[in-house]
Amino acid sequence: MTEDQANQRILDLRHQIEYHNYRYYILDDPEVTDAEFDALFRELKALETRFPELITPESPTQRVSVGGVVSEFPKVVHEVPMLSLSNVFSPEGLGEWNERALKYLDKRFDFEYTVEPKIDGLSVSLLYENGVLVRGATRGDGITGDDITPNLKTIKSIPWNLKYRDGSDDPIPTRLEVRGEVYMPISSFEKLNKELAEKGEKLFANPRNSAAGSLRQKDASITAKRPLNVFIYTLAQMDGGPDLKTQWEALKFFERLGFRVAPDIKLCQDLQTVSNAVQNWIDRRDKLDFEIDGSVIKINDFATEDRLGFVGRDPRWATAYKFPAREAVTRLLGITWTVRRTGTINPLAVLEPVSIGGTTVKSATLFNIDMIERLGLRINDPLLVKRAGDVIPNVVKVMDERRTGEETPIELPATCPSCGAPTTRRPDEDGTNDPKLYCTNDPYHCPFQMKDWIFFFSAVRGVDGMGERIAHRFYDEGFLKDYGDLYYLDREKLLALDRFGEKSTDKLLKQIEDSKQKPLDNLLMALGIPHVGVKSAEMLANHFHSLANLEAADVEAIASIKGMGRVAAQSIVEFFQNENNQAVLKKVKEAGVRTEDPIEEDGGPKPLAGKTFVLTGNLVNYGRKQAEELLKRRGATIGSSVSKNTDYVIAGAEAGSKLTKAQQLGINILDEDAFTRLLQD
Ligand SMILES: [Zn+2]
């Protein structure tokens, strides 16, 4: 290859890579697979290695690290100060802000508003001259910031060169300053913290801290390794571009120029619509992969904005509707140990009560003993806890700097808090391999294990009325010694209990009666046999067609089923050999519970016929192929990309652009739990 040919190919590759970057990072709609993209990138790198004189600073290969290491960030004086915003906390506060603006103009206006998510990240300014990124800076104090151009250049969604993506030949502004928010996706933040913990390094408190810490690296090559992203939302100044009259036009203009703009920004004609849009963000807050701490409401018309001006440094024409806080610092009072069905003994943090977003929080989940060790947790520790949605809060980190010296180590229990048997420590068998603490007794000799088993069995069987507390209570009352007793509950005895009216009692009994007709795989799943999940329960039911056949099977027969492992086969045989289990199963059978499936030639009903599913991210309990197979067997069609024709998106951990797209299109999104329930229906 001559240098001329190489140069042609290099230009072509750069053009392609830049285009695919745009599809991937800005539009979230890639046209090529990651592997195809990597191949282009590798080819470019190889050519540039062979012809180093052809490397230019604009080459995408240079994005990973430009500028080298600085000892001090140069200062930047913002030509247009970077504003702060006034805050409101309620629809009433929003109304008052609106009234103040109207009153200031001294006449009745019909304002239009934009409602944007308030990203909890780091504000930055990007300056382009003749379409080329010449400077990127932090907000600093709003007047003076730090020049972090090399760091910002490593963020793939920040364009280095502006051009109209719609092919328009409008002039590129000779000078353009835009502002936006750099953030770290929540999934990336969690991954980063996990890696830091494994290396024994200090954790970041939240995605904003990790974004700030990553962006303000003196060595930009460290920034390049951190998965940062950006949303652009403000036009600070422009010379020589189109005449923009509104914020809405500015946002559309940003998109045309290849900037990344937050999804679902609304243009609203009245305050009620604004409130609805804000509420919509509050509702979706926990489902997003970026942290938002509010909504920003701006009066759309630039001319009106100019007339409204500022109070101090806050514009009258915009305000931030702040959402309830979700984090608080409190103290660890102690640990409660709960024993689950499988014998695991799990820690629950007992907290000094603290109010988070209007709710009093008294406990937080710690997941497992590994977490105690990873966080370096001690009794009396000052903790940062976070509450998202209605789930039980979790501990983010220990606030080391607030320790007082009163902290004492946490002792792992040597005996089971339920039955007193010795505890043992071994890796979890759920595939995570997290070290866990176990009770060495079986459920027939450990009350907490059996209570949890009864609850689990009921939940899988669709007996929603048997909540955790009720399952425990019935056990304590002696109504249930095991899950087999579920089918022999005495209506009169239940009615004699406090808070058991006829209506709720009959509803519960009907659910139990109805559960008798559930298919075999549901029963097998509900038994809670170690190593038997939804998928293997289904395989067993398909293969054996009856509980009796399965009980009679030996390890060889079970392990010979495609997809069943020996460990599971062994576990199944042991389960049915256990005399206690046999006694409970006898009760189940005698109660008339269905233990056989009819043998169907066509593979059973097709409840999902006509529905299109797209899968994204990693599921914990299913392989991708397996999940697709389960759906297909129920008549579903599997799509490869999200479109308006998609009915459901199943999103596992680290779901990417498909999830974002589904959110934008308003497609039903199922997490793994919902997917499992769908399979059980
Ligand atoms: Zn125990």
pLDDT tens per residue across span 357-385 = 778 889 998 877 888 888 889 999 999 88
Distance from the alpha carbon of residue 552 to the mean position of ligand 1, in angstroms? 30
Exposure class string for 232-251: b at 16+ Cβ within 10 A, else e: bbbbbebeebeeeebbbbbb
Task: From 518, 498, 494, 519, select the one nearest 507 (Cα to Cα).
Answer: 494
Residues in the chain, how many? 681
CB atoms within 10 A of CB 70: 16
What sign for the dihedral angle of Cα 556, 562, 565, 571? Answer: negative
Dist CA 499 CA 527 (whole Å): 29
The DSSP bridge pattern shows strands 318-322 and 408-409 to be unpaired
Distance from the alpha carbon of residue 414 to the mean position of ligand 1, in angstroms? 11
What sign for the dihedral angle of Cα 546, 552, 557, 558? Answer: positive
Which residues of the chain, if any, have pLDDT below 50?
Answer: 65-67
Distance from the alpha carbon of residue 344 to the mean position of ligand 1, in angstroms? 9
Distance from the alpha carbon of residue 449 to the mean position of ligand 1, in angstroms? 7
Distance from the alpha carbon of residue 423 to the mean position of ligand 1, in angstroms? 8
Distance from the alpha carbon of residue 439 to the mean position of ligand 1, in angstroms? 5
Domains of the chain: 3-62 (1.10.287.610), 86-322 (3.30.470.30), 327-413 (2.40.50.140), 443-515 (1.10.150.20), 520-590 (1.10.150.20), 612-680 (3.40.50.10190)
Q: What would the pLDDT profile of 85-133 be if each residue is shown by its tens digit?
A: 888 989 999 999 999 998 888 767 789 999 999 998 999 999 999 999 9
Distance from the alpha carbon of residue 453 to the mean position of ligand 1, in angstroms? 13
The dihedrals phi and psi of 404, each to the nearest 5 degrees, come to: -110, -10
**pLDDT on residue 314:** 84
**319 strand-pairing partners:** 86, 297
Predicted interface score ipTM higher than 0.95: yes
**pLDDT on residue 409:** 93
118 an active-site residue?
yes
The active-site residue, picked from 107, 118, 362, 516, is: 118
Assign 3-state DSSP to the chain and report helix, strand, coil percentages, each to 5.
40, 25, 35
Tokens of 207: 């995605």
**pLDDT on residue 89:** 87
**pLDDT on residue 239:** 94
Contact, 452 vs 341, CB < 8 A?
Answer: yes
Distance from the alpha carbon of residue 272 to the mean position of ligand 1, in angstroms? 56
Label residue 541 exposed, middle or buried (CB < 10 Å: 0-12, 13-18, 19+). Answer: buried
What sign for the dihedral angle of Cα 16, 18, 19, 23? Answer: positive
